[in-house]
């Protein structure tokens, strides 16, 4: 009889990771649970995860990731906001913590695979001899967008058991198993920011962002004062503290002059962007002018665009139709059907002529 393969499952005590652990055990894997803990940010997820592990009769480890999390996630998060950009910390957390760190821990423990409760699919293409990252069956829950930086050597060791299930099916399985997990509405908060008060967080970590400056319209007229560039994002309307005949939105943030530029909504639409730090899933060169669906934020539906690789690991993305509020610091991810080709970090955008 073939020896069962081991898998280290990241467990938060929530429904997704708990059911993921169960499904892998059901398939015959020797499952070991692991909770990634931040000392500074108090959480009871370790207690919940341990209870689930006991219910599933699997070992459970608690790993302190405070130092690597600060280095890879929080420092980068603060740096981006200092420079007037709006980052997505979940992407870096998946890249460096939930997979790079978890895979290293798995290797140290002699475990072949690592797994999470993400809604996405990994498939091996025999013809291309490559691993592919694809959208989940449940498109409403699909999380492939935040996994685009994964590399081939990681994909071959990663298991995503929820990719073929809908969220409702996962919830039902948790109920059937009587797992002690919470099934209430999911939080959209950033895990390391208490109460999702990111303004207070930024003021505590980088006090210099609390720096007022002018709010200008497209004519260069001063309409008011902002409280610090880090507290605004492209497309924002509320909280500007200005009055105008027609609604105005944040169009751009300029760190050099510490200025917030505002404009009518029609001025927020852009048809090109440049992305940096481009990562390709299959590690192949993207053909000049290749047509894709490009997502410019997690909840964006995706829009038709052509890709034009540039020097310095950058890429020019030209949209068929102008897109609203393209935001520097966010990720742009490229899809060919349900397959993720790769993506990068939005560096700057261009408005239509």
Could you give the residue numbers annotated as active site? 93, 191
Give the integer Cα–Cα distance in Å for 49 and 129.
36
Angle of helix 15-26 relative to helix 167-177, nearest 10 degrees?
Answer: 70
- DSSP per-residue codes, 237-260: -TT-----SS--EEEEEETTTTEE
11 SS3 class: coil
> H/E/C letters for each residue in 189-237?
CCCCCHHHCHHHHHHHHCHHHCCCEEEECCCCCEEEEECCHHHCCCCCC
Give the integer Cα–Cα distance in Å for 249 and 310.
31
Closest CA to 210 of 226, 228, 225, 188: 228
Give the integer Cα–Cα distance in Å for 340 and 149.
10
Give the integer Cα–Cα distance in Å for 124 and 122.
7
φ/ψ of residue 344, rounded to 5: -165, 180
- DSSP per-residue codes, 284-301: -PPPTTEEEEEESSTT--
Give the integer Cα–Cα distance in Å for 80 and 328.
9
Tell me the sheet residues that pair with 126.
Answer: none
DSSP label at residue 81: H
Residue 320's region, left for phi above 0, alpha for psi from -120 to 50, else beta, is alpha
Q: Taken in order 227, 228, 231, 232, is the CA torsion positive or negative?
A: positive
């Amino acid at each position: 009889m073939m020896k069962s393969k081991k898998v280290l499952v990241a467990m938060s005590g929530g429904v997704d990771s708990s059911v993921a652990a169960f499904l892998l055990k059901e398939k015959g894997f020797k499952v070991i649970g692991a909770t990634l803990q931040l000392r500074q940010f108090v959480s009871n997820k370790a207690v919940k995860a341990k209870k689930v592990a006991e219910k599933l009769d699997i070992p459970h480890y608690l790993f302190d990731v405070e130092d690597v999390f600060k280095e890879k996630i929080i420092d980068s998060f603060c740096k981006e906001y200092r420079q007037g950009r709006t980052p997505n910390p979940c992407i870096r957390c998946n890249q460096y913590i939930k997979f790079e760190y978890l895979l290293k821990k798995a290797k140290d423990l002699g475990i072949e695979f690592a797994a999470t409760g993400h809604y996405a699919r990994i498939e091996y293409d025999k013809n291309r001899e490559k691993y592919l990252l694809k959208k989940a069956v449940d498109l409403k829950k699909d999380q492939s967008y935040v996994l685009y930086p994964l590399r081939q050597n990681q994909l071959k060791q990663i298991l995503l058991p929820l990719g073929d299930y809908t969220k409702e099916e996962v919830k039902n399985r948790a109920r059937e198993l009587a797992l002690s997990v919470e099934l209430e509405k999911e939080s959209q908060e950033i895990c390391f920011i208490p109460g999702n008060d990111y303004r207070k967080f930024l003021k505590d970590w980088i006090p210099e962002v609390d720096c007022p400056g002018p709010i200008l319209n497209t004519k260069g007229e001063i309409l008011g004062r902002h409280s610090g560039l880090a507290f605004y994002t492209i497309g924002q309307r509320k909280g500007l503290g200005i009055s105008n005949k027609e609604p105005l939105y944040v169009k751009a943030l300029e760190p050099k002059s510490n200025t917030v530029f505002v404009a009518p909504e029609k001025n927020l639409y852009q048809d090109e962007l440049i992305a940096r730090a481009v990562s390709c899933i299959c590690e192949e060169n993207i053909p000049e002018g290749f047509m894709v669906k490009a997502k410019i934020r997690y909840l964006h539906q995706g829009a038709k665009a052509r890709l034009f690789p540039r020097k310095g690991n950058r890429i020019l993305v030209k949209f068929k139709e102008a897109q609203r509020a393209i935001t520097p610091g966010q990720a742009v991810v490229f899809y060919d059907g349900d397959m993720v080709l790769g993506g990068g970090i939005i560096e700057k955008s261009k408005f239509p002529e």
